[in-house]
Structure formats: structure tokens, C-alpha cells
Amino acid sequence: MPIFEYRCAACKNEFELLVLPRSDSVPECPSCHGRDLEKLFSGATVSTDHSQRRARRDGQARGARLRKDLNHEEHKRIHDHSHDHD
């Protein structure tokens, strides 16, 4: 059974929908129940050792950037707070 991706023209929500064979019902947006939908192109998903390593590396890099940003914000908050009490 194919899963299609749609974008709602009314609320711009993007969602996936399982479409049953011989289904006569018109799909609707789960957010606003609109029926003016654009079917999006879905690429096939292929998982290889290389793609898994790349995804893991990219995730680790995003996590490192997030931790750096959070540490910077915490340092800034502490610095600003200590100057408020001077």
C-alpha cells in the first residue's frame, strides 16, 4: 500500500497518508481538514552503511553545535547576572 506525501494549500501542513487501493475517498489535511492538497514528490529511502555513518556524524556535529551554543548562553546568563548584582 503506497504512502503519499501531501501539502495542504490552506494551512501549508505537510503530511504522509496511506492510500488504500480502490479508495474512492478524497484525502483531507489532518490539521485543517482541507481537501485542496498538492501531492509531493517522495524520493525512495535507501539505508546503507555509508548513509548511516553520515547521518550519525551529522547528528553528532549538530549535537556538538547545540551544546556549544547552550554553554555560551549559560556563560552569558551567569556573566550578565553577576554584573546585575554589582
Residue range(s) defining the domain that contains residue 75: 47-86
Q: How many domains does the chain have?
A: 2
Instruction: pLDDT band for 86, please (50, 70, 90 cuts).
Output: low
- Do residues 57 and 36 share a domain? no
Write out the chain in H/E/C secondary structure: CCEEEEEECCCCCEEEEECCCCCCCCCCCCCCCCCCEEEECCCCCCCCHHHHHHHHHHHHHHHHHHHHHHHHHHHHHHHHHHHHCC
By DSSP bridging, strand 3-8 and strand 14-18 are antiparallel
Judge contact between 6 and 40, C-beta under 8 A: yes
Q: Are residues 57 and 35 in the same domain?
A: no
Claim to verify: residue 60 and residue 78 sit in the same structural domain: yes
Residues 35 and 51 occupy one common structural domain: no
The residue that leads in pLDDT, 46 or 72, is 72
pLDDT band at 50 (very low <50, low <70, confident <90, very high): confident
Confidence of residue 54 (pLDDT cuts 50, 70, 90): confident
Q: How far apart are the first and last CA of the chain?
A: 67
